[in-house]
Structure formats: structure tokens, C-alpha cells
Amino acid sequence: MNRFFMIPNLQKDEGLCVTRAAASVLLDAGATVYMRAPLATVCDRRIIELEESALPTDAEAVITVGGDGTVLEASRIALRLRVPLLGINLGRLGYMAELEPDRLEELHRLLQDDFSLRVLMTLRVSLERNGQRWELPRLAVNDVVFYRSSIGHVVTLGLSSVSTKNEVKYMADGLILATPIGSTAYSLSAGGPVLSSEVSAICATPICPHSFFNRTLLYGDGETLRVRNLAEDDNITVTIDGRENIYLEPMDCVVVEKAPVSFHIISFDKKDFISVLQKKMKIAE
């Protein structure tokens, strides 16, 4: 590959120093680099400038400069273009943005196709209301989170699988439906397990449950899950990867299932599951 769309996070890369250095490595190696205006000309005049909302349809990969949040924000573009993403890490953990700034010279390996791909499961989300169903435009790479919209209230949710129809009732501060890669994020903070990305499952973790049953449930990737708002008010908000706020009305239902497309992360090192956890989360300390 030799055509790349770069997306920097201006709050993480102040002055665009890392972005400029990364672009230079690629451009000097003969690559084509796209970036949105006005950042392109600020970084390097060899970069092809795009209008604010334009996408380079011939790009072969997306490169982000920032943290895992930047990767999540750019995942929608990578999925739309159906290309993999490489994250240059300026964040804290860098679980998905895994190339450190002191290794920018390795970017030339992209032009030699000298890399591996991590294939990550995504979730498709739909809203059911008054007998109608709408599929939401954003796929979840990390999680779909249901939480209370106002302080001092708990949410009452019914979680069921379409195949079994047995409903689990939660009174809690919220509920997280996470992908395996999302199990290392909010779900982990809420007490959920860490899943290898090789495990294809949906992880349902309650947030501060107000009941004795407070365990995570794991569903196979072939399950279609339904979460019903059992409350008598509209005190529940739903987010997809921390974005796309949806406000549920009483008896609204959100349907969550494995999406037909995967999110691909570029990696220069073939790492097993435990070694990633040891490096990023210091589990051995």
C-alpha cells in the first residue's frame, strides 16, 4: 500500500510535531498522503489537501495520531472506506493506537506490506420504537452503553437474547454491551472480564447493579440481544463508543448484534494476548 489518509488529534499533538514527522517518513518513501485542510499545508506541501468533509476514496489505510479515542473516532471513516487503520500513540494506554512516536521510521514498512492485521469484531445497533425499527449509522468498535441520564436515579433494563427470549432484569446505574476489544475499556472498569480479541463474543456488564446478581454475561457472536427500557420515564441514554447519544423512551428497545464487517488494526509486531496486557496494563506488576 502507498496511499494514506492521516487524521491527527490537535489536542494530543500540539504543533503537529509527530504528525509532520510521520508524514515526512511516508512522503520520503514515495507514498501519497492525504489530510484535511488547513492542516495539510501546515504539515508538508507535498500532502494532498482535502476539503473538511471529503474522503480520499483511493486511500488504502487510515493513520491516526493521538490515543485510543482518536482511533475510535476515526474507525467510522476506516470502516466506511473499508481499509485498515494504524494508530500512532500519543495517549496513555495505546491499546489500539500501538505505534509509539519513537518508532516512526517503521512506517516505511507499510509500503512493503510488512505488517499484520488485528481483526476486531464490531456491533450493529438498531432502535425499536412503536413497532418501527431504525438501524443506527455508527458501528460499535468498543461498546454500547446504557446509563442513567440524571443523578440519583437507577435504570431498569431487560436484557434478552432473541434465540432464548429469557429476560434478565437489571436495576443498576447502567449496562455495558462490549466487544472483546471493548472488554479492556469501560467494561473492565465496571468489573467485567478481559477477553482476547480471538474470542468472538458480546460481553454484558452491569454498572453498579442494585441487586445481588452483579455478574457479567457472555453471549456468543451469533446472538441477537435486545435491551428494553422497563422504566416509566425516559431517564436512559445510550451511547455507541461514547458517541451518538440516543435517549430512550419507556418501552423502547435497542437491538445489538454482531455486524457483518470487521475493524482492521495494522500492527508491526505479532503479539499474543497476554503480552499486550502485560505491556499496556502492567498486569505483571
Q: How many residues does the chain have?
A: 285
**Phi-psi region for residue 5, left (φ > 0), alpha (ψ -120 to 50) or beta?**
beta
Half-sphere exposure of 269 (CA within 13 A, CB side): 12
**Is residue 87 within 8 Å of residue 22, measured between CB atoms?**
no
Residue 110 is placed in which grid cell? Answer: 507499510
Active-site option among 68, 143, 173, 241: 68
Q: Going by C-beta distance under 8 Å and a sequence separation of 6 or more, which residues neighbour residue 207?
A: 147, 172, 173, 174, 175, 176, 190
Radius of gyration of the chain (CA): 20
Residue 44 bears catalytic tag: no
The set of catalytic residues is: 68
